[in-house]
Structure 1
Amino acid sequence: MTKVQQKIGLKALMSQYCEQKGLSRADFAVRSGVSGSTVSAIDNEQWDKVSSAMVARLESFIKNDSPESVYNTADFDSVMRLCDAACAHRLMIGLIGDTGTGKTTALKAYSCRPNVFRVTFEKSMNPRQFFKSLLRELGIDFEGNVNAMIARAAHEINMKERPLLIIDEAGKITHPVMLYLHDLREKTQSNCGVVLAGMPYFRDNLQKNAGRGKEGYSEFLRRINLWHRLEGLSASEVMYIAREQGVSDERRLKEMSSKRRFGDLMNEILLDKVLKNDI
């Protein structure tokens, strides 16, 4: 593929991404962290103004923010229903499951819908960095103190029709960010649903700190209307996915049937393909 072909491919990816999420080009520029002039150059195929490094950066952004291969497993369907319920009834829902159970894959798929905003919390984030990330996801380039950022985010969320805020890796949320999230929920609860997704220790830690009387934990825990834990893959789901991925050897299918986490299964399938030189 030539560099020009790669850039034309990026234009198509960008258009598809914006269409799926109902974004304007200005929204895309803010969300991806690039200038409006760069997005305009891509749209107008002014390739001399778009470097190969920029192409790689935007391709990576779109790929990381887009769903991988999805299968309608029981867990996947339950995540879709939970997100629907959060939107329809403006609930705050806790979604928990071990790593590799497909939480992020399912949430990425749901976040392709308009007015769904997904932010991944990173352990190193301070409150200002977190709300900067949220504002960027909302398509807003805004500077200010944390309280001003919360107020601006709440205003933007309340302007949307049936918005949903998804916070992935919620188990890593620090105490200061949790207190600020309490403020955001106060300002948006009449209009916005929230899904908090994390490892099982997310709920355990909230309950433990609430029991110790640590500031804000009891109030935050009470705001979570319901919890749902992913169960993992059934044996029949494993067999179906493996066959769809090209695994036909009955011995290998039997070995894989004990896998309950989607990530573990896909790693096994990848290993098979590598050993067979299929990739």
Structure 2
Amino acid sequence: MDKVSVKNALVQKMESLQLSGNKVAPLIGISSANVSNILNDKWDIVGDQIWRKVMVYCGMASKWQPAKTANLAKIYALCQDAQSNHVALAFSFAPGSGKSFALKHYTATTKEVAYVECDEYWTKKIFLQKIGSSLGVTVEGTVHEMVETVVEVLNRKRNPLLIIDEADKLKDPALNMFKTLFNRTQERCGFILCGAPYFKIRIEKGVSRNKQAYQEIYSRLGGEFIPLTPVSSNDVGAVCKANDVSNPEHISAIIGASKGDLRQVARMIHKLKKDENYNANE
């Protein structure tokens, strides 16, 4: 475990979200004393379980290494565009194309980025609570009070980006909160909305049927869903090499069996590495 890197990641996260040790501790699930010990290099009294919790909070828990696939490069560019120019952008594409991985990696490596991964059961309140958690604040009260808290935090930041992943899972009342947040933070905050292929179909169908709020949502997204690209053999090869699989036969087998699904690529690489006789170069 590289404790220097973990400490540096924690410092960056705290600076990005403007959090004190007392405020970040409950978000990690550890005591403020443990946070203080990590920041002051008193590492001999910090247990491994505490370090692991910090790594999870900072997005460092996985040993999986990123590779510069076509979609990772494009998603990074879209995130930078949305964050720098305070616009809202959307894309939807097939599962296994690396969308969520790229968004999480951007969040972990860039200041003032908040990320939420949506679920089907989320109400308006749960959605706002999750956004608050990603911003490092407690959001409670009525929906109006919760919106005011989130808006205040976003508008206070210099260059914020809010990433709403798996947005297709949100029911209409929660999804409509995007419109409210966009309106209240216009020209101060960027947004990325991402989902499976159905997300694009749902929004465009809602627009064509003049369904309430859908035209307004689509307009705020620039009236388009930005296309990604199918995972290529070069992408799979890059992922393999970034994760210590360099044998051409192994790479060729993974390319053939994964069928352009990066989740399957990851499973195959993990399975290959489980072999006690595995050598990356043989």
Q: TM-score, normalization: structure 2? A: 0.82
Render the CA deviation track for 1:31-64: whole Å, top value 9, x for unaligned: 435554553355464987x787655544443347
Aligned ranges 1:147-186 → 2 under 5 Å: 147-186=144-183
Gapped runs of 5+ residues in structure 2?
A: none
1-side partners of 2:242 and 2:260: how far apart? 17
Deviation for aligned residue 1:155: 1.2
Question: 10, 13, 20: which is aligned to 1:17?
Answer: 10
Render the CA deviation track for 1:76-101: whole Å, top value 9, x for unaligned: 11111111111222211112222221
Alignment check: 8 A CA contact 1:18 1:25 kept: no
2-side partners of 1:257 and 1:203: how far apart? 28
Alignment check: 8 A CA contact 1:21 1:114 kept: no
Name the counterpart of 2:263: 263
Letter in 1 for 2:15: G
In the alignment, is residue 132 of structure 1 matched against residue 147 of structure 2? no
Alignment check: 8 A CA contact 1:31 1:138 kept: no
2-side partners of 1:69 and 1:76: how far apart? 12
Alignment check: 8 A CA contact 2:88 2:190 kept: yes
Name the counterpart of 1:3: none
Letter in 2 for 1:29: A
1-side partners of 2:236 and 2:43: how far apart? 46
Aligned ranges 1:1-279 → 2 under 5 Å: 9=3, 13-19=6-12, 22-23=15-16, 24-26=19-21, 27-29=23-25, 31-32=27-28, 36-40=32-36, 42-43=38-39, 45=42, 57-63=53-59, 68-111=64-107, 112-225=109-222, 226-258=224-256, 259-275=259-275, 277-278=277-278
2-side partners of 1:87 and 1:46: how far apart? 35
Alignment check: 8 A CA contact 2:9 2:58 kept: no
**Inter-CA distance 252–66: structure 2 relative to 1 (3 Å threshold):** closer
Alignment check: 8 A CA contact 2:13 2:58 kept: no
Q: More displaced, 237-246 or 262-271?
A: 237-246
Identity %: 25
Gapped runs of 5+ residues in structure 1?
A: 1-5
**Inter-CA distance 47–145: structure 2 relative to 1 (3 Å threshold):** farther
Deviation for aligned residue 1:157: 0.7
Alignment check: 8 A CA contact 2:29 2:53 kept: no
Alignment check: 8 A CA contact 1:93 1:224 kept: yes
Letter in 1 for 2:80: D
Alignment check: 8 A CA contact 1:90 1:193 kept: yes
Q: More displaced, 180-189 or 38-47?
A: 38-47
Q: TM-score, normalization: structure 1? A: 0.82
Alignment check: 8 A CA contact 1:30 1:140 kept: no
2-side partners of 1:46 and 1:70: how far apart? 28
